[in-house]
Chains A and B, each alone.
Chain A
Amino acid sequence: MDCRLVVNSLSNYLDGSLLEAEVRLLEIHLAECPPCNIVRLELAEIRSAARELPLHTPQRALWKRIQLSIEVGESQQGKGREAIEQPGRWSRLMSRHFTFTLPQLAGAGALVLALVGFSLFNLSRHAGQPLNIQGGTGPSLIQAKAAMLPGEPEMREDIERRMSILNARKAAWDPPMREVFDSHLGKIDESLNHCRRNLLANPADQDHQQMVMALYEEKLRLLEDFDKLK
């Protein structure tokens, strides 16, 4: 048997994973080859010494570190959970998409055209008077109060209540957070104004009625989400 082959099989031999025939051949070789036998003895020594290695002891301060880490972890668990949830809400807000049905989309298309015409008309009549799209109290919405949809007053009341709470907190928000909030709110209010104007022209338009209520719900969800962010 070749010495190289024998040495390469020594670990398997020591671990008892060779076949009987292989063991016999190997032992014959070992009996006749002192160098290979020395390797066997040395590997066997390493193998048995490894089982008796002493245990090491870490620094005594390690327990204090662990204790502190657990205490900090426990106290921050609530905060941590919130922090984990916050990016979720945040990313949800960042990635929020407005989903509309086909009739609503068709209505929206018509609305854009109507809006352009209406805007031009309005601008020519009220030159220099800006449209208020943030507060929901612009001229078009004031006019719209005359034709409130079912459930709309309650929805608006709820929105106004939440808005006043959030407005009080808004100053403490990070600028990017304010920017996202304003941007989303702006889009919703803009769409609301468009729908409202369209409903003024055609109060029986069910698509726009649905859109108005859907937009109020969207606005409410936005306010709720930001309210949860604290």
Chain B
Amino acid sequence: MSVMLAGEQANNVTVEATNVTASDYELAQAAARGDMEAFEALYERHHRRVYSLCLRMVANVTEAEDLTQEVFVQLFRKIGSFRGESAFTTWLHRLTVNQVLMHFRKRGVRLEQTTEEGEMQDVVQVGSERPHSMPVIDRIALDKAIAQLPPGYRAVFVLHDVEGHEHEEVAEILGVSVGTSKSQLHKARMKLRELLNKKL
């Protein structure tokens, strides 16, 4: 009996070691065959990135966790269709963004904002207000400030500045024009500057 247990333990160690070294594509293929350990390995690798994106986009911990859960459930269902043509992270990222956008649509969130409470004044806040530029930005403060942005600004800022999408991609993802994407990004940055300056 003890020999068997030792054998099982060794097998588990081997499986875990295999999962650690396996590529995302290999794990995805194994998960598509119903291998939950492979799927868990994928979760371990990518869940923080997925959750962070969801959290930054919706600015609510509970909703972000629910969305992350939905993303991984969807991922499990669709993983068989991942053919490895693009990077797994890109594929998962797109799945996550789609899930977030679906969430916005369900809640009736408008992503193309022209006038609302977050609308910027075009007046320049002159340097006399603060003689020096803000010091190195506290990343936590920036995260909190992002959460205070209106959803439309936040979505563009997160996709462009945090996730590194080009305006053309942001426009396509959000279904807005490139001009709107650029304009919303600028307004988002200006609003963040204002929020961060208030805190400093």
Contact = CB atoms under 8 A, between A and B. Distances in A.
> Sorted from nearest, which 8 A-B pairs have the closest CB atoms?
A11-B186, A50-B161, A35-B127, A35-B126, A41-B133, A55-B48, A49-B137, A38-B127
B161 to A, nearest CB: 4
Given A3-B124, A39-B124, A70 B73 contact: yes
Contacts of B128: 35
Interface of B: 36, 40, 43, 47-49, 51-52, 55-56, 64-65, 68-69, 72-73, 76-77, 122-128, 130, 132-134, 136-137, 139-140, 142-143, 146, 157, 161-162, 164, 167, 182, 185-186, 189-190, 192-193, 196-197
Interface string A46-61: 1101111111111100
Contacts of A35: 124-128
Nearest to A39: B124
Contact of B133 (A17, A45, A53, A69): A45
A222 interface: no
A105 to B, nearest CB: 48
A73 B122 contact: no
Interface of A: 3-4, 6-8, 10-12, 15, 17, 34-39, 41-43, 45-47, 49-59, 62-63, 65-67, 69-70, 73
Nearest to A67: B36
Nearest to A41: B133
B74 to A, nearest CB: 10
B133 to A, nearest CB: 4
A66 B72 contact: yes
18 contacts: A7-B124, A7-B190, A34-B127, A42-B196, A42-B197, A43-B193, A50-B146, A50-B161, A50-B162, A51-B162, A55-B48, A55-B49, A55-B52, A62-B68, A62-B69, A69-B73, A70-B73, A73-B73
Contact of A56 (B43, B48, B125): B48
Given A49-B137, A50-B161, A11 B196 contact: no
A45 B137 contact: yes
Given A39-B125, A42-B193, A70-B76, 10 more contacts: A11-B182, A11-B186, A34-B127, A35-B124, A41-B133, A46-B192, A49-B137, A51-B162, A53-B142, A54-B139
A195 to B, nearest CB: 51
B20 to A, nearest CB: 17
B47 A62 contact: yes
A66 B196 CA distance: 36
Contacts of A47: 161, 189
B123 A51 contact: no
Contact of B157 (A39, A50, A54, A63): A50
A73 B126 CA distance: 57
A58 B123 contact: no
A1 to B, nearest CB: 12
Nearest to A12: B182
Contact of B142 (A15, A50, A58): A50
B86 to A, nearest CB: 22
A56 B157 CA distance: 17
Nearest to B64: A58
A129 to B, nearest CB: 61
A58 B65 contact: yes
B93 to A, nearest CB: 13
B51 to A, nearest CB: 4
B155 to A, nearest CB: 13
B80 to A, nearest CB: 13
B41 to A, nearest CB: 11
Nearest to A70: B76
A56 B126 CA distance: 35
B33 to A, nearest CB: 14
Contacts of B189: 11, 43, 46-47
A17 B123 CA distance: 22
A53 B164 CA distance: 12
Contacts of B122: 4, 7-8
